[in-house]
Structure 1
Amino acid sequence: MQKIIVPISKCIPGMITSGPIIDLKTGTTIVGQNQELTPEHIKNIQNFVHTDIWVYLDSFNKVWNLPVETIENYKKYSSALMAVVNQMDQKDTSLLDISDFEALCQDLPTDFTANYSLLGCTNLIEQLDCNTYNHSLNVAFISMLICRWCNLDNHLIASAIKAGLLHDIGLLNLSFDPFDSSFTRNADEQAEYEKHPIYSYNLVSKLKDLDPIIPKAILAHHEHCDGSGFPVHISSPYINLLGKILGLADTYDLLRHKHHIFDTLKILLLDLLPQFDPKLLLTFCTNIATYYVGTFVILNTGEIGEVVFVNPQCLYRPIIKINDRFINLYEHNEIDIMAIK
């Protein structure tokens, strides 16, 4: 298991020490080897002149060290969403009482107020299953973040939450699980998959007292600004703002299940740029990238370094610090980030 020195300012609860931390004045051990750092440990260490803090790199907990309570709250919302959506999976949704769904949507921004928590929950990729409900919750979270970072009004944020939670309800009509990574779709199954926004629209559009921009956005969440999307291949002027937000959030979450954050940003800003509203995309990616300053990455050189600065010229090629050496990946195309630790 790889080891790395971290300054006290970068220590987070849950890291595991790979060597003892010693008080240099007295020689006493402050924290022993193979101990999990707690908030009390980190606070106490700051009172001493101490040896280097060596930790196992794998204990960095995938960048996001969320409290257990936040993760459990996320699971609770995912389960609640499943219960609500299963009620909607019937022929006549116009007769449904959606008060439970409305309550869920109202409570969500209160229970997840911090942007860090919203973004952190969407990074629980290896801890939680990738399914319709977790994905839909992630899309709601990401849509909220896009709205906040673009200074959009509270009414649109509320609509974004509802649209995110319901956008993939049509997947329940498919004959296969689209989140099964071991499953390869044939042409007929892909054609069936591309109808799911229509299935979602047909269910959601019949719900009583729902803002009509929500089903329209859901219908368009796989449409692209350049007209290359599906199911009807409309382009930017015909996609409402909420649909553009929903499409960006959906694509980002699907990419993050396959790629680390900097590869995800590269795909969005380089390969998929024509598909999205440029203002929404740049604002979103710029804000996302700043949350990864201070994280450790493994380079294709085999070296491990810390992200110390996100280059505004190229968000997906940051400046990396390796010991006392700085590498600007924007100027070194031969060096790539292979993984985040």
Structure 2
Amino acid sequence: MRLIPIGCVRPDTYLAKTIYDHEGKPLLKAGALLTKRVIKKLREINIYSIYVIDEYSSSEIQDIIKPELRQKSIKKVHDSFMNLEKLYLEPYLCASSYKSNEIIKKQDSIIKELYNVAHELLDNILSNKNVLVNLVDIKTMDNYTYQHSVNVAVLSIVIGMGLKLNKSRLLDLALGALLHDIGKIFVPKEILLKPGKLTPEEYDEIKKHPKRGYEYVSKFSFISSVSKIIILEHHEKYDGTGYPDGISADQINLLANVVSIADVYDALTSDRPYKKPMCPNDAFEYILGNADKMFRFDIVNIFSKVIVPYPEGTMVKLSNGDIAIVQGTPCDYPLRPIVKVIKSEEKGKEGSIIDLGESLSLVISNIEYNLA
């Protein structure tokens, strides 16, 4: 299977992975025939990339967590954020102390459910022998915040494992990552979903979400101080150019640094109302290029060993002009995958396997989606 932009999908190919709505219900099941009408409909509901089955790649792309757990987690985050947003307004609608106490109990229960989600994600990843992460998946724009929260938690956990964190600290990291954008429930939807460029005033409103999220979760005693600090500091940058406080270097909590990288990588590779997604390899290079600028070098180094910039099935153009399909990714050098040549000007070369980790004269020059 291959993940390709909807504009590059050829009619009469087949869908390889089920597409879900924000409730976790299937919109289109794996195996469906992708006719021109279906492709047009997917575009209309703001789905811009899908997995297809074609003659170029038959391998199945394995996620680091079980698909059913991913959908369950996304739905739980969606429901929790929506319910917390509703409850946030209720104390201002009535003066009853009894009613206020009931609201606090409900909020406490919802946050504890998210704690359980973080715990389940952590246990699932710790039991998985494959620690390489492919976060590029089918995403719907109206479900972005919830998919993003789960993706950031997953990648943060794997980076945390690379830092040799114990299980207790990994759980703090997972919960902080899952809740890192909780302050956005206090940002007006017309700003969050604005399709165009934000005004300076609107951007200032967005920049308040880490502090608002931190203040909101401060009342929950069962959330560790580290998880709370992650929420506050996940937009701080190593060089001091971040927000809300503009702190830098070692002033920023280690685990907030982890979530910062995971947050930026997933945001770059996701469709948003105001931008198209960046290719995984370009986003990967962006993170590496900002080591010791936006991000801590040691954490970027671990990130570079666990992320998959070229998932299996990706069609790539090599520097010699050959077109190849990625067959596998070495753990220690993900920018140099193993590829199978499917088109070449050189006679007899098609079908040959090249390990780019050994063929150092060759590099990947571009991602392709269809043969010319």
Q: Same-fold call, TM > 0.5?
A: yes
The separation in 2 between residues aligned to 1:57 and 1:178, in whole angstroms, is 43
2:314 is aligned to 296
Q: Normalised by the size of structure 1, how large is the TM-score?
A: 0.70
- Pick closer, same or farther for the CA change 1:178–1:162 going to 2, 3 Å: farther
SS at the partner of 1:124? Answer: coil
2:365 is aligned to 336
Aligned residue among 119, 123, 128 for 1:114:
128
1:168 paired to 2:163: no
Q: Give 1:221 shift.
A: 0.2
* CA deviation profile, 1:293-326 (whole Å, cap 9, x unmatched): 7543232887421346879998546575523385
Q: Give 1:161 shift.
A: 1.4
**Paired residues for 1:256-275 under 5 Å:** 256-257=269-270, 258-271=277-290, 273-275=292-294
- Pick closer, same or farther for the CA change 1:277–1:162 going to 2, 3 Å: same
Question: How many residues are paired up?
Answer: 287
8 Å CA contact 1:168, 1:200 repeated in 2 = yes
Q: Normalised by the size of structure 2, how large is the TM-score?
A: 0.64
2:299 is aligned to 280
1:78 is aligned to 74
1:41 is aligned to none
SS at the partner of 1:298? Answer: strand
1:56 paired to 2:54: yes
8 Å CA contact 2:63, 2:133 repeated in 1 = no
8 Å CA contact 2:307, 2:334 repeated in 1 = no
The farther-off stretch of 190-199 and 89-98 is 89-98
Q: Give 1:255 shift.
A: 1.6
1:213 is aligned to 226
* CA deviation profile, 1:142-193 (whole Å, cap 9, x unmatched): 1111111221111111011111111101111222366648333222211211
**Paired residues for 1:187-202 under 5 Å:** 187-202=200-215
8 Å CA contact 1:297, 1:305 repeated in 2 = yes
- Over the matched positions of the two proteins, sequence identity in percent amounts to 23
Q: Give 1:85 shift.
A: 2.8
Q: Give 1:204 shift.
A: 1.3
The farther-off stretch of 77-86 and 93-102 is 93-102
Q: Give 1:138 shift.
A: 1.0
- Pick closer, same or farther for the CA change 1:319–1:102 going to 2, 3 Å: closer
8 Å CA contact 1:195, 1:231 repeated in 2 = yes
SS at the partner of 1:306? Answer: strand
SS at the partner of 2:66? Answer: helix
The separation in 2 between residues aligned to 1:72 and 1:200, in whole angstroms, is 28
Q: Which amino acid aligns with 2:133?
A: L
1:97 paired to 2:95: no
The separation in 2 between residues aligned to 1:259 and 1:176, in whole angstroms, is 24
* CA deviation profile, 1:203-256 (whole Å, cap 9, x unmatched): 111212211111111111010111111121110221111111111111111122
The separation in 2 between residues aligned to 1:111 and 1:311, in whole angstroms, is 22
The separation in 2 between residues aligned to 1:139 and 1:151, in whole angstroms, is 18
Q: Give 1:66 shift.
A: 5.4
Q: Which amino acid aligns with 1:56?
A: D
The farther-off stretch of 314-323 and 199-208 is 314-323
Aligned residue among 236, 243, 256 for 1:230:
243
Which 5+ residue runs of structure 2 have no aligned equivalent? 3-14, 17-30, 32-52, 92-99, 271-276, 342-349
8 Å CA contact 1:299, 1:337 repeated in 2 = yes
The separation in 2 between residues aligned to 1:176 and 1:193, in whole angstroms, is 11
Query: What root-mean-square deviation, in Å, do the aligned CA atoms of Structure 1 and Structure 2 show?
Result: 3.8
The separation in 2 between residues aligned to 1:71 and 1:309, in whole angstroms, is 21
Identify which of structures 1 and 2 has the higher relative contact order when contacts are C-alpha pairs closer than 8 Å and 6+ apart: 2
SS at the partner of 1:269? Answer: helix
1:39 is aligned to none
8 Å CA contact 1:143, 1:245 repeated in 2 = yes
